[in-house]
């Protein structure tokens, strides 16, 4: 079992004929991912590596049973691509594109309310369930099936954490990069709740960043709702206040959103906090035999 991306996934790729879409579709297929169709307006009736290409997402849903979408479209057209996937009834939408305007994402968030769709991203590394497949940028060779869930705001650190675990012989149940923009689809709490309910996931790695209050809110949720051990790291500890570091959401403002504040909140919630990213895999290794419930 896995969260979000399971055996039942039938994936269509919006922007499949573009440079990013074509490359990462081939990588996903090489991993064993079930990609059933591509979407490129104006290219209906053609094929990409034997996959049918349609003009509209609803056509892939109707004709191929698509229930997951990976979006690699240019930023200017991506908000409309997300809205199209929502309207087509896609259950899981994974948006990899960066540079989406905040006001457009506000509209997307409104459209998600009351829909049957979940959005991962935008500006994220995607999602991978080792042994099932992936949508996004995570390198195939780092993935190993197992029982540790990974959720991260940082793309690069997502790869680093997965690779650390794999090198230690520790597999992953599902790895989710939620993205670091100010407005994203699923946040930490959404993914933590799914990991908590997933019988395959026995421990969780949470990678946060400076800026905002997502990690503090996650800490509160963990304290009250999560029984599984959580290991966490916060990136950006040395960032100067008021300076945006990497992601648009990674900015310390008015003294809030610092790494130390987030570390403290997580520690109060019983999370195992590691301040050296190179040691996170080892900390996970240490707690794998710890009982699932906290005192």
Is residue 211 domain-shared with residue 92, that is, in the same domain?
no
Identify the domain containing residue 66 by its residue range: 8-122
Q: Is 247 a catalytic residue?
A: yes
Last residue of one domain, picked from the residues 88, 122, 156: 122
Residue whose C-alpha is closest to residue 105's, from 127, 82, 85: 82
Q: Is the pTM of this model over 0.85?
A: yes
88/208 same-domain check: no
Q: In terms of domains, do 152 and 283 share one? A: yes
* Neighbour tally for 62: CB within 10 Å: 12
28 and 96 inside one domain: yes
Pair 156, 282 in one domain = yes
Last residue of a domain, one of 59, 87, 122: 122
- Tell whether 117 and 172 lie within a shared domain: no
Residue 150 sits in the same domain as residue 245: yes
Q: With beta carbons less than 8 A apart as the criterion, state whether 249 and 212 touch.
A: yes
Catalytic residue among 24, 144, 247, 262: 247
Work out the number of other CB atoms within 10 angstroms of the CB of residue 276. 9
pLDDT tens track for 219-272: 999 999 999 999 999 998 766 665 555 554 544 444 457 889 999 999 999 999
Q: How many domains does the chain have?
A: 2
Is 54 contained in some domain?
A: yes
Q: Would the pLDDT of 16 be above 70?
A: yes
Domain final position from 82, 101, 122:
122
Does residue 46 sit in the same domain as residue 184? no
Is residue 237 a part of any domain in this protein? yes
Q: Span 195-221, mean pLDDT?
A: 95
Q: Let me know whether 137 and 278 are in one domain.
A: yes
User: Is 231 found in the same domain as 215?
Assistant: yes
Indicate whether 139 and 241 sit together in one domain.
yes
Domain shared by 63 and 154, yes or no? no
Lowest mean pLDDT, pick from 23-32, 182-191, 249-258: 249-258
**Cα 111-194-237 angle, rounded to 5 deg:** 90
The sign of the torsion formed by the CA atoms of 195, 196, 201, 203 equals positive
CATH of the domain at 84: 3.40.50.720
């Amino acid at each position: 079992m896995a969260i979000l991306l399971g055996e039942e996934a039938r994936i269509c790729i919006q922007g499949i004929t573009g440079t990013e879409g074509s490359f990462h579709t081939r990588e996903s297929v090489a991993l064993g991912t079930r990609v059933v169709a591509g979407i490129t307006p104006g290219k209906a009736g053609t094929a990409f590596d034997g996959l049918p290409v349609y003009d509209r997402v609803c056509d892939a849903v109707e004709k191929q049973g698509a229930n997951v979408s990976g979006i690699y479209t240019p930023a200017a057209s991506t908000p409309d691509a997300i809205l199209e996937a929502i309207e087509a009834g896609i259950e899981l939408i994974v948006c990899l594109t960066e540079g989406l305007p905040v006001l457009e994402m506000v509209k997307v968030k409104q459209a998600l309310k009351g829909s049957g769709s979940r959005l991962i991203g935008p500006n994220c590394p995607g999602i991978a369930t080792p042994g099932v497949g992936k949508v996004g940028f995570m390198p195939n060779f780092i993935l190993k099936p197992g029982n540790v869930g990974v959720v991260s705001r940082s793309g690069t650190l997502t790869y680093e954490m997965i690779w650390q675990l794999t090198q230690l012989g520790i597999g992953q149940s599902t790895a989710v990069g939620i993205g670091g923009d100010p407005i994203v689809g699923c946040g930490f709490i959404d993914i933590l709740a799914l990991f908590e309910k997933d019988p395959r996931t026995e421990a969780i790695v949470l990678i946060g960043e400076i800026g905002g209050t997502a990690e503090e809110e996650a800490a509160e949720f963990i304290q009250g709702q999560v029984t599984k051990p959580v290991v966490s790291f916060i990136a950006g500890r040395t960032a100067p206040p008021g300076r945006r570091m990497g992601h648009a959401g990674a900015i310390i403002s008015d003294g809030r959103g610092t790494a130390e504040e987030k570390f403290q909140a997580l520690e109060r919630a019983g999370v195992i906090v590691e301040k050296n990213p190179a040691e996170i895999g080892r900390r996970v290794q240490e707690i794998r035999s710890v009982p699932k419930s906290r005192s």
